[in-house]
Amino acid sequence: MSERISIPAQGRDKDTILDELSKLHLKDISWKAGRAWSMVYYVDDAHQELLTEAYSSFFSENYLNPFAFQSLKKMELEVIQMTANLLNGDENVTGTMTSGGTESIFLAVYTYRERARKVFPHITEPEIVTSDSIHPAFEKAAHILNIKVKKAPIDAEMRAQPQELSKLITRNTILIAASAPTYPHGALDPIVEIADLALQKKVPFHVDCCIGGFLLPWVEKLGYPVDLFDFRVPGVTSISADAHKFGYGAKGASVLLYRNMNYLKHQFYIATDWPGGIYASPTLMGSRPGGAIAATWSAMQALGQDGYLQITQEIMQATQEIKKALSEIPEISILGTPVMNIITYTTRGNQPDIFVVADQLEQKGWMLDRQQLPNSIHLTVMRQNIPVIDTYIEDLKASILFAKNNPGETAKGNAALYGLMARIPFRGMVEQNVRKIFEDLYDFSKTSLVEEAETSSTLPEPPLWMGLLNRFLLWWGRFGNKKLKS
Ligand SMILES: Cc1ncc(COP(=O)(O)O)c(C=O)c1O
């Protein structure tokens, strides 16, 4: 068993600690060099400095109580109004800032459940109707809040299908949810049609604009085709938009907006009988970091509409270049019709295996999001990716060539693992295996966990039975099926 790590007996000096921090950074993906295609929403060093200073100046302030810090109250209310304006809300639109997309979605689900309890008490088994491509944060929220999620299939363009959603609506439906756009494919769900359905069935409708809320308005202003997705659409009752994504604020900031107070009021939680006093809380978190609010407010002040437009123009132009380059590679096909800077591609007929291609790209120093159903690679084009687009495309072509020349590679490395996860039809087994990976990660009774974490960037080997099942499924796909058919 490895030695347990304790708080150092004597405090260490600042320089040693900062030095260690910068060494720890060396093992991370070099996102600033454009090697990651997700997670870090970056403008430039000057903007980063502003965020850091703004965050630091409200580093200690706690927004637990909106009345204790007038400064943070003012900034939160202004961020809410700026976002509501951007998403074409009228003066009745209101909301709160939260810590991120997942909290915004959690609160929206909670709010509609609380509303249903008050307004429709006959609903004892509440349901949400949505599509397969919706972000898992909805299912997570519903799981915690004991709500059933009913998901309809998406179409060939990777978009929600209103007629399929309609089939799932019952008298227990408390909410319809759709995305603008979806994370997996950057597809814009048909918000107008779904909102019509919502109005017709008298059900609230949440649009998840977590990734698109601070980008799509500028994409639209730049003249790219974008169907209506925001408060201009009657029937849309709430929208989540993450300021820590394309709002270019600091991490820990999202905005959750409702059409009016009649919805938002169900979000507030008030405990009246606590010995610690009356405890009132507008969002999920108790203590709320003042820094995230100050940094988001400052980001909006610093970039201004012209700044957001300029950055969006750059990344949309880069997106068109990548799309064009991908369309010229005969083996590649792009999934759906992405509406902004998300591109998801696969290989035609999965030849060569897209996960082998992904492994090769990873060996060349790229960090990738692998997706399933179908197996594919996901890119969000960020500003820091722009200078390395040509290198990426060259590396992709080389990786495809390698995969074509080495068909046996499927059985190795991450390609095998991800291929296996995507292929196994029993999803309960996949869940069990992933659960085990987490259990192992946090199980400190195992040997050398810390050292392992320091050296390993790949996922652990799957259990033997999964490998055997995988081989069987591969064999079945290649030969068993054919034998049966012939
Ligand atoms: C469409 C969508 N919704 C929700 C989320 C969840 O946001 P967060 O990771 O900030 O919790 C994401 C994150 O990428 C997203 O793309």
Q: Give the model confidence (pLDDT) of 189-246 as tens digits.
A: 999 999 999 999 999 999 999 999 999 999 999 999 999 999 999 999 999 999 999 9
Rounded to whole angstroms, how far apart are CA atoms 39 and 123? Answer: 39
CA distances from 132 to 154, 178, 354 (A): 6, 10, 22
Q: Which residue has the tokens 């980063």?
A: 48
- Give, for ligand 1, the residue of 135, 159, 207 to mutate: max count of ligand atoms closer than 8 Å to Cβ: 135
Q: Which residue has the higher pLDDT, 170 or 409?
A: 170
Rounded to whole angstroms, how far apart are CA atoms 81 and 89? Answer: 9
Ligand 1 centroid vs 10 CA: distance in angstroms?
40
Average pLDDT over the chain reads 92
Q: Is the pLDDT of residue 455 over 90?
A: no
Q: Is 102 in the pocket of ligand 1 (CB under 6 A)?
A: yes
Q: Is the pLDDT of residue 266 over 80?
A: yes
CATH architecture designation of domain 54-300:
3-Layer(aba) Sandwich (3.40)
Task: Give the bridge partners for 151, in sequence order.
Answer: 130
445 pLDDT band, cuts 50/70/90, is confident
Picking from 324, 329, 311, 322, the residue whose alpha carbon sits closest to that of residue 388 is 322
Tokens of 256: 């959750």
**Residue 242 alpha carbon, nearest atom of ligand 1:** 10
CA distances from 100 to 32, 90, 117, 175, 334 (A): 22, 24, 26, 21, 29
484 pLDDT band, cuts 50/70/90, is very low
Residue 148's φ and ψ, nearest 5 degrees, are: -90, 135
Ligand 1 centroid vs 334 CA: distance in angstroms?
22
Predicted local distance difference test score (pLDDT) of residue 417: 76
Indicate which residue's Cα is closest to atom 5 of ligand 1.
101
Domain boundaries, the chain: 54-300, 424-485
Q: Which DSSP category does 63 fall into?
A: T
Q: Is the pLDDT of residue 1 over 80?
A: no
Predicted local distance difference test score (pLDDT) of residue 460: 63
Ligand 1 centroid vs 133 CA: distance in angstroms?
12
Q: Is the pLDDT of residue 153 over 60?
A: yes
- Mean pLDDT of all residues in 148-167: 98
Ligand 1 centroid vs 105 CA: distance in angstroms?
9
Q: Is 208 in the pocket of ligand 1 (CB under 6 A)?
A: yes
**Residue 254 alpha carbon, nearest atom of ligand 1:** 10
Indicate which residue's Cα is closest to atom 6 of ligand 1.
101
Q: Is the pLDDT of residue 144 over 80?
A: yes
Rounded to whole angstroms, how far apart are CA atoms 184 and 207? Answer: 16
Q: Which DSSP category does 186 fall into?
A: -
Rounded to whole angstroms, how far apart are CA atoms 458 and 127? Answer: 38
Q: Is 239 in the pocket of ligand 1 (CB under 6 A)?
A: no
- Which tens digit of pLDDT belongs to each residue from 283-312? 999 999 999 999 999 999 999 999 999 999
485 pLDDT band, cuts 50/70/90, is very low
Q: Is 189 in the pocket of ligand 1 (CB under 6 A)?
A: no
Rounded to whole angstroms, how far apart are CA atoms 235 and 95? Answer: 17
**Residue 100 alpha carbon, nearest atom of ligand 1:** 10
CA distances from 204 to 130, 131, 233, 369, 477 (A): 12, 16, 13, 33, 44
Q: Which DSSP category does 91 fall into?
A: T
Predicted local distance difference test score (pLDDT) of residue 416: 74
Asked if residue 347 lies in contact with residue 309, where contact means CB atoms within 8 angstroms, the answer is no
